[in-house]
Structure formats: C-alpha cells, structure tokens
C-alpha cells in the first residue's frame, strides 16, 4: 500500500531537515555566544539593569531573526506573512491592550531610571528588593522572601519610593517625654546619644525637633543620618541607647494617660469608699 511517504521522506526533505537543525543549533549557539561576549565586555561599564536589557534585546532579536530564517528555509513566502502582519498587528493590538500598555510602561520606567535592580523600593504597602525588571512587570523580593509581581502599568501610575537610591539616609525616632521634664536636658541627652553612636554620621548632623504638645507627652523627633547599609544596626542601637540614657537621667517616657480634675487644677479629687 502506498501511503505517499515518499513525498515527504525523500533526499530533498531530509536534506532540508538536517539543514534546519544545523541552522537552529548554530543560531542558538551564536545568539548565546554574542550575548555572553557583550555582557562580559560591558560588565564593568554598565549597571546590572542595563546589562540585562542589552542581553535580552540581543537574545529576542536573535531568536526572531532565527525564526524568520527557518521560515524562509521552509520556503514559506515571507512577503505574504509581512503583508498579513498589518492585519494581525491590529488584531493583536486590540486583544492585548493591557500587555502592550505594560510593555510601553516598562520602557518608560527603564528610561526614567527611578530605580534599578537591587534597589529597595516601596510601592503602595509592599516593599522589597527589585529582583528583575521584565517586559510586562517588575518582580520584587520581599524581606520575608516572597516574590511579588507588579505590572509595569501599576508601577508607573503609583507612587514609588526608592529607599536605597542615595548612599545615606536619615532615620527619625519619635520620642514622647513627660511634661514635667526639662526639655533642654532632654535635648542634650539625645545629642549625646547620637554623638556617641559611631554609626550615626557626624555629618550631616543629627537633628532634634520638638514636634507637638501631645495629649500625654511632648513629642520630639530625633533624626540621625547613617549609611544605608547600616539601617538595622543604627535603628536597634539608637533605640536601646535612648532608653538607657533616659533611664540613667531619670527622664520619663509616659504611657498614654488622662488626668481628671473637677475644675480646680491643683486639688485632687477625693475618693471615699462607701460600704453598705
């Protein structure tokens, strides 16, 4: 029974098959090699983010070219394909508005350079390290090792805080002290805490601001500058040192309380226990 296999499995098609396999192997190998060589030569000059973009551009362009070469090798008419591409483009564009929006937003994000790979960012209520910046989204790795995928359109339309953009930061401590305390003494104690902590930068100088006369205490802000890598050490050490210094100097940090008086400020309310 003649199944007509000779139409498909003859020397010409076998030859074409092996040629395509060779083109694919050589093509994939060349693309990876070019990408590797470019990354290696530009590693010291460019940031990780730029390297990733260049590498992906080379790879995507290379694979698209490889697909076109294989299609050409299979003797498909590319002009018809390009002709249909216009119509297909409209259909795809309508169907994938969100995806295209994300791609366009991604290009704007990259061009804006408001953050890079490795930066710690806060978007809405989520914060973490920028893990990758992709065509459609960015991936953020949280501090408890979760991976969050945020579409580029959401990133570009939301307020984003880059916590590690600059090499130094200021950390503000909100401290409440009792109304009876000598504020000049409190200021001196806080200045000494900042001065004696070697991780708190001498310059820019620490700042002390008397914020408000609160309901239960006077609120003071102590702002200390530090190198961004020392965040946790500074936060914990200054916190402990403030408490120790206040304990040593007898400065009270009051808990929320309400004082009740019956119209005359200095007389306490007399309390009698009535028994039946």
Which spans of this chain sit near another protein (rule: CB under 8 A)?
166-168, 195, 198-204, 207, 225-227
Q: Which is nearer to another protein, 52 or 224 (by Cβ)? A: 224
Smallest distance from another protein to CB 256, Å: 31
C-alpha distance across the termini of the chain, in Å: 116
What sign has the CA pseudo-torsion 242, 244, 249, 250?
positive
Q: Is 4 helix (H, G, I), strand (E, B) or coil?
A: coil
| Cβ atoms within 10 Å of 234's Cβ, excluding its own | 21
Q: Which is nearer to another protein, 132 or 230 (by Cβ)? A: 230
Smallest distance from another protein to CB 227, Å: 6
Q: Which is nearer to another protein, 138 or 200 (by Cβ)? A: 200
Q: Which is nearer to another protein, 172 or 202 (by Cβ)? A: 202
Q: Which is nearer to another protein, 58 or 193 (by Cβ)? A: 193
Residue 30 near residue 61, CB atoms below 8 Å: no
Q: Please name which of 195, 180, 172 lies closest in space to residue 245, comparing C-alpha atoms.
A: 195
Smallest distance from another protein to CB 37, Å: 30
Q: Please name which of 193, 188, 191 lies closest in space to residue 234, comparing C-alpha atoms.
A: 193
Taking CB atoms within 8 Å and a gap of at least 24, the contacts of 114-120 are 114/160, 114/162, 115/160, 115/162, 115/165, 116/47, 116/48, 116/49, 117/47, 117/48, 117/49, 117/52, 118/48, 118/164, 119/162, 119/163, 119/164, 119/165, 120/162, 120/163, 120/164
Give exposure, 89-99, as e/b (b: 16+ Cβ within 10 Å): eeeeeeeeeeb
Smallest distance from another protein to CB 73, Å: 54
Smallest distance from another protein to CB 221, Å: 13
Beta strands 218-227 and 207-213, pairing class: antiparallel
Q: Which is nearer to another protein, 42 or 168 (by Cβ)? A: 168
Smallest distance from another protein to CB 199, Å: 6
Q: Which DSSP helix (H) or strand (E) runs through 247?
A: helix 231-249
Q: Which is nearer to another protein, 115 or 225 (by Cβ)? A: 225
Smallest distance from another protein to CB 109, Å: 21
């Amino acid at each position: 029974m003649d199944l007509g296999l000779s139409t498909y499995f003859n020397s010409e098609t076998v030859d074409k098959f092996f040629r395509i396999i060779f083109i694919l192997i050589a093509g994939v190998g060349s693309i990876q090699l070019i990408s590797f060589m470019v990354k290696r030569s530009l590693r010291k000059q460019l940031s990780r983010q730029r390297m990733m973009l260049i590498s992906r551009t080379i790879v995507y362009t290379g694979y698209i070219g490889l697909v076109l070469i294989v299609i050409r090798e299979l003797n498909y008419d590319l002009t018809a394909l390009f002709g249909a591409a216009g119509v297909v483009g409209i259909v795809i564009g309508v169907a994938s508005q969100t995806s295209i929006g994300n791609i366009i937003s991604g290009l704007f994000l990259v061009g804006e350079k408001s953050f890079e790979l490795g930066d710690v960012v806060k978007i809405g209520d989520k914060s973490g390290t920028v893990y990758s910046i992709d065509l459609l989204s960015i991936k953020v790795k949280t501090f408890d090792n979760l991976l969050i995928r945020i579409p580029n359109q959401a990133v570009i339309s939301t307020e984003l805080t880059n916590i590690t953009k600059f090499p130094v930061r200021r950390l503000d401590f909100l401290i409440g002290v009792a109304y009876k305390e000598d504020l000049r003494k409190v200021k001196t104690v806080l200045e000494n805490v900042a001065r004696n902590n070697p991780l708190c930068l001498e310059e820019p100088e620490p700042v002390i601001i008397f914020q408000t006369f609160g309901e239960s205490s006077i609120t003071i802000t102590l702002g200390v500058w530090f190198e961004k890598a020392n965040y946790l050490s500074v936060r914990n050490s200054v916190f402990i040192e403030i408490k120790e210094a206040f304990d040593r100097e007898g400065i009270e940090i009051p808990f929320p309380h309400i004082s009740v008086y019956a119209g005359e400020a200095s007389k306490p309310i007399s309390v009698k226990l009535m028994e039946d």
